[in-house]
Chains A and B, each alone.
Chain A
Amino acid sequence: MEQSIRSNAESLAFKDVTVHYNNAKGWAAQDTEMRDTNRMKEIQFKASHTLLLLFFLWIFLLHAIGIYFFTKGFLLTRLVLDHKSQCDSPPIELQQSSPSLFADGCWHPKTFDKAVIIIIDALRYDFTVPFSGETHHYHNALKVLDETARQTPEKAFLLPFIADPPTTTLQRLKGLTTGTLPTFIDAGSNFAGTAIEEDNLVAQLRGAGKTMVHLGDDTWHSLFPGYFDADLTHAYDSFNVWDLHTVDNGVTEHLLPLLNPRNSSKWDIIFGHYLGVDHAGHRYGPDHLATNAKLREMDTVLRKVIVLLDEKTLLVVMGDHGMDVKGDHGGESDDEIEAALWMYSKRGVFGRGHNGFMVPPATAKERPVGQIDLVPTLSLLLGMPIPFNNLGAPIAEAFTGPGKPDWQNLASVNALAAAQISNYQREYSQARGLTEEIFLYPQAFWKDGLLIWREALKSGRHNDRFKPAFESFSKYQQETLKICRSLWARFDIPSMLEGIAILMCAVVILGTYARSSRPMTLELIPIYLAQMTMFGVLSAVFCSALTLLVFGTGIVNAALLGLAAGGISGFTYASVNLPQIFTLPFPRSLWGWLAVVLTLSQSVGYASNSYTIWEDEIMLCFLSTFALIAFASSMRQEFFIERILGIFQAGIFLVLTRLASLSRLCREEQMPFCKSTYYASSTSSTSAPWQLLIPLVSATLLPAVIKIYYQTTRSYQRSATIWIGFAARLGLLGSAIYWVLDAADDNDWLVVDKSILRTVKIVIARLILGVSLVVGTTMFLWSNPCISIQVTPEVNGSADGEVAPKPKSVKVFGYANVHGTRYFLLVVSWLLILTLLQKPMGSGAIGILTIQILALLEIIDTNNLSQSAIGPVVLGLLGSFHFFKTGHQATLSSIQWESAFVALKTIRYPWSPLLVVLNTFGAQILTTVAVPLIALWKQPPKKSRLLGDVAKALATLLLYYAIINLATTMWAGWLRRHLMLYRIFSPRFMTGAAVLLIVDLIGISVGIGSLRWNFTSIAEVFGWN
């Protein structure tokens, strides 16, 4: 068997071109003519290549415009009112006869002069309460909050503090200072916070002339630029999650001296923002010694702060959100939204009289307060007006007073908050043109409350009479909040429909182009392009002009819409006028049907939350199905070699798929049926020591395996030997070393200075990125094809005629796969980049993906499927599958933000987001880079229409992603009232949209763009066809 394989490989290995060569000798006279023809063909190729690029840019444009319009309508928006609350005009007079301004407070007498507000990022509620039973590292570490609240209930209280999703720090800070609900569209801007324009507590404090100090997370400075005292304030970079201590040490170092009585006149309000707990969660997960140590540190710091605190100062400690089992956050799962709130004062003004619960709730499900409730509470405690957009209610524990409940005070503060909400609601209705009926139901509570309250006031301050008033006001606040939530879940349906229509048309265009214009894929491009551009530009100009004349605003949107509509009509016009070329794009073989069925069933699945949740397992099943059918198809080969080769590759593909599937990162909804293996444990976000071996194994095996695939056609020549045999080996080894050093840094394995370790790490990472990007690209641009030409010299017949004269013979080794092997060098460059950016488990997945791509190419070749849709679709499935296998899920919290620091010490634009993108969508990017190989693998150098075939393959891959994106978009739009919209459908839509745009860009720039050099280099040797 081995013998026959070898002989077959031998026959593939070289091509004897002696005849051509000898013929060519006679053509010396025609040499110039030939050169001219070649030159002309080269120009022709370059022209059609450029046009092809432009055509795909059009596709990208349509996708981008479609996604833009849908997103505009889908991601919720809230109209921000510019009104500011004024100190001297309270929304309601607290006393019958007005001195409306209290001497010691704006709307209500203040309780405290000063405040220390400490945010412990990601302080989950269960970190703060005692826990008996099976404890984790995060239990019983931070005890001071519960202890004080339990022992001195008049001095402190501890409550669950429920965040409104999205639970990212930026959004939470907005919510915590404005007292209103964040909207989803902000979630994407976590990398670059922007200043808060609307009325908020910090602005009110600044307006009242308070001196504010900020220590810690620098997100505050992007939200409140210039608000803080420049001398005392110390801000620290917030995104370096690898660093657990710099921010915390900095805050503590500056906080404690400020609390010293000597310094107490220097400030009024201190905002301290600790990040250590959050970073420990991100880096190690909550159930880890590092988290425990961090919580204990917080405990110590808070005890020191308590000692230093004076009677006039309020101390607030809170988490801005929680963390999930892995220590990440962003979504709306229970663990992510359940933070803790603790208030402390030495004066003993707090109480529990209104409900009688003296100890802190055991779980976050009991007696929670909303995070929006903080703003009215703090405002009134500090004698500030409640910010205009606030929707929260004062927290009762802070106003009820020690001992018997002070119902009158509770009713007063709730009356103020409710009156403010009532004002806001009126203004908002007016600004949005809402009818009064919407708020009719809560309005009744407001009126009831007012009536009872006035009665109680008149009747001479009988305390208990105020209780029903308090209850009515609370009810009013709760009901209004409910309505506002639903109002801001209001979608712009027309815009969404426009987006969906554009995306749908783009799918039709891609489908028509990819699947029914064969074999004219290239020749039709100029016609399409001309019509699309002409129609598009005309229509864009027309639409924007019309909008300008009629409405005067919204020109950009109109122009975009016009451009898209024009492009679509242009394509339709062009294709209707070319009827003879088209056949309906229906599949004509089992393979075609398989491609369609797999794509469509995946798309239909997104309508169900279950199938979206279990997408990773479904991809496994689909890929195995393909491999099994490929196995059967290979069985049908008549010849032994092809049969064995096909079976072998299908088997490799099948086994590797299952092997890769062992790498899992479970999303919360998959529990308890899923066990995460991506990290050391399901509650950690670091790799286990044994996982560090994976990159090493990958570095050893992968180049060797690639070499084997090259050697079947004797293509392991020239650049391939250097790039695969040397550079790839070194690069992969470098990645392996990088991750070992990273683990050493994590676990303190080495007794080396951490900063040295980090510098070494970053140097290695930059070297790998630099070499693969710069050297890899240069090599790709200038490299010769991976062939070796063997010339046997002419043997002259000897004089006596004993030896027959033998003409010179020329053999080309590696001839059978000239295009494929040269192009694959580019895939190797990308492989190096993407491997470095994945965690150890992910680099294994990327390695497996590379071999799977090669196996797929061989399957495609032995079964003669290079024209079928199945090749690109399986590549697409591989991309989707390995997205999960590289430790991602379609959720915000699974984004591996720390990958931004693989090659950088601090956030730098645009590199940091770029690194995160390469980490997140690595699998899809690698498969897109590889898609031209479907058409190029093992094709003869001068095959005609090869460029068109590549375009077709790429268009088919884009079609796959476009259909997935269209499906997720449509389902997200359709299920916009679904309970799980934000948990499941919305993140999946965002993933799909991001993937489509990235794949478009990579496909155009790398997939199509690089072909220019591939073809030119091969034509230099073999001539143009």
Chain B
Amino acid sequence: MTETATEARPRKLVPISQSISVLPTDTARIYNYIHPVLILSLYYLCFPSLVADPVSTLKKSIAPLAHLQIIYCVVCLPPSKGSSTQPTPSTTPKKKKVQFARPAAKVPATLASRIVPALFSFLLSLSLSAPLLTVVLILFGAPLTTHFWHNLLCATHISLLGVLPLFYVHGVDGRMWREISGACLPFDEVWGGVVGSVVGAWLGAIPIPLDWDREWQKWPVTIVTGTYLGWFVFRFAGEYLLKGKRIEFD
């Protein structure tokens, strides 16, 4: 069987990302718990008006959500160091021990060095991942010709909730984003939040077809609800239950 012997099966990427932890300050540890509760309360308060008028509610709630998320990043999460300080992974793919996300050893010195990347993350998640997620929503069956704002705003919420901290923690490094799009990050609160919002949004589609004739079944209320609940559950699961584990395909 010489033929099979020569068949070299494609090799898999060996992930080098590591899970992150919240900054080692008391404020960070405490706010890490307060934040999800705040987010969920915000969602709870918005829910009635979300059902009544999804577009304007989603639009109005972007500002508070973004503020909360930026504060969360600044207070609790270690910012990305930026690619300049890291060895470029594409040139040395074989070195598996290079670490990107650091264990939360040091609190960055200045506040500005945390606020600026947080603002950048906000802009990136708004301009980059929100349109991309809109396309994904449409590919999954969201209305193509109508409900444009519904789709875009729904994607924006998913993006702010899940992707914003991801930008903040992992920066815009190419190798890192390859691992992110390959879904091979280890679980932590940030990655858990991402997985949770996606899974939640997916599960959120389940009640839509039911013939219960409820107002809240309308697009995209259930998707947004699923996103928030999924994010909430999985960010804790990522922080404790699944910490450090990776999603394995094979």
Give me the interface of A with B, judged by CB distance under 8 Å: 589-591, 608-611, 613-614, 617-618, 620-621, 624-625, 628-629, 631-633, 635-639, 642, 654-655, 657-658, 661-662, 862-864, 940-944, 1025
Contact = CB atoms under 8 A, between A and B. Distances in A.
A613 B93 contact: no
Contacts of B249: 589-591, 629, 632-633, 636, 863
Interface stretch (B27-35, B115-123, B180-188): B180-188
Most buried by A among B138, B140, B144, B181: B140
Contacts of A628: 136
B139 A609 contact: no
Contacts of B178: 635
B9 interface: yes
Given A621-B205, A661-B141, A940-B4, 20 more contacts: A589-B248, A589-B250, A590-B249, A591-B250, A613-B209, A614-B209, A618-B209, A620-B140, A621-B141, A625-B140, A632-B249, A635-B178, A635-B179, A636-B12, A636-B13, A636-B249, A658-B138, A658-B144, A662-B144, A942-B3
Nearest to B183: A632
A919 B211 CA distance: 31
Given A590-B248, A613-B209, A942-B3, A638 B12 contact: yes
A608 B210 contact: yes
A14 to B, nearest CB: 13
B165 to A, nearest CB: 19
Interface residues of B, number: 32
Contacts, number: 90
Nearest to A613: B209
Contacts of A654: 139
Contacts of B209: 610-611, 613-614, 617-618
A448 B233 CA distance: 68
B26 interface: no
B6 to A, nearest CB: 9
Interface of B: 1, 3-4, 7, 9-14, 93, 136, 138-141, 144, 178-179, 181-184, 202, 205, 209-211, 247-250
A658 B181 contact: no
Main secondary structure of the interface of A (DSSP, over half): helix
A864 B247 contact: no
A655 B139 contact: yes
A937 to B, nearest CB: 13
5 contacts: A590-B249, A610-B211, A617-B209, A620-B141, A636-B249
A549 to B, nearest CB: 53
Nearest to A592: B250
Nearest to B247: A590
A621 B144 CA distance: 14
Contact of A941 (B3, B93, B205): B3
Most interface-central of B4, B141, B211 (chain A CB within 10 A): B141
Contacts of A591: 249-250
B182 A621 contact: no
A632 B246 CA distance: 13
Contacts of B205: 621
Contacts of A941: 3
A631 B249 CA distance: 12
A621 B13 CA distance: 28
Contacts of B136: 628
A610 B210 contact: yes
Nearest to B211: A610
Contact of B3 (A609, A625, A943): A943
Contacts of B139: 624, 654-655, 657-658
A629 B182 CA distance: 9
A590 B250 contact: yes
A860 to B, nearest CB: 12
Nearest to A605: B209
A512 B140 CA distance: 33
Contact of B181 (A635, A642, A1025): A635
A820 B9 CA distance: 18
A862 B11 CA distance: 10
Contacts of A655: 139
Given A632-B181, A941-B3, A624 B10 contact: no
B108 to A, nearest CB: 30
B211 A609 contact: yes
A590 B246 CA distance: 12
Contacts of A638: 10-14, 93
